[in-house]
Amino acid sequence: MSVRFAAKISLLSGGLALGACAMPDMDSFRAPDLATLFTPRSVTSFREKQLGPVAPEDMVDASGRCAGALVPAAGSAQASGQGNVSLQDAGVPMIPAAPALEMSECDVVKRAGFAEKVEIGTNDRVERTVTLTYINGQRPGVYYFTAGRLTSMERGAEPPPPKTAKKPAKPPAKRTAQPSRTSVQ
């Protein structure tokens, strides 16, 4: 019995000696405190990139047109005095995507077209505010901008579905009397 006890003690002391070689440095070890465990983290407050200020050419004017939305007409047209032509009139396609939050004013105009109603003003913080109202088009609604960026949007009334020609209704066919049936399963 003493041999077994001595063997166990020697194995235990050898294991502790080898384990001491792998002990962490207690001077560099730092236990977590409450500030690191309970910091507020949220996916909604995380931003992948910071958006810079909106350039003046990315803002709309009082008529709802962007500075970059006009394409110079062909050389012969300028000579005849026609001036600039809008992107849609020049045959340049609009961007086939939906407007999204934080887009610039002109990015929304390139996606939704020219607005029927434009309101430009300032808020309490002396930031530029723009409201673009679309009554017709693919994406009717009201788009609100602050400092050149889309901050909110309201969906407008959907256009009515196209009317189809109705066929005259057929008179209901007469039914013949059928015996009542019941089935048990």
CA proximity to 87, closest of 119, 65, 58, 102: 65
3-state helix, strand, coil in the chain (%, to 5): 25, 20, 60
Task: Please indicate, yes or no, if residue 17 is contained in any of the structural domains.
Answer: no
Is residue 33 domain-resident?
no
Contact 151, 103 (CB under 8 A): no
How many domains does the chain divide into? 1
In a domain? residue 43: no
Give the SS3 label for residue 143.
strand
Question: Within a domain: residue 175?
Answer: no
Output the pTM of the full model.
0.52
- Residue 36: inside a domain, yes or no? no
- Tens-digit pLDDT profile for the chain (185 aa)? 788 888 898 988 888 777 766 666 677 777 777 777 777 666 665 556 677 888 888 899 988 888 755 544 444 444 344 445 555 554 445 777 888 889 999 998 888 888 899 999 999 999 999 999 988 877 889 999 999 999 999 987 766 667 776 666 676 666 666 665 565 65
Residues 26, 82 contacting (CB under 8 angstroms): no
Residue 139 lies in a domain: yes
| Domain presence at residue 94 | yes
Range of the domain at 98: 54-159
| H or E element that contains 129 | strand 128-134
Looking at the domain assignment, is residue 177 inside a domain? Answer: no
The tokens describing 70, both together, are 């006009």
Enter the tokens of residue 94.
């609009």
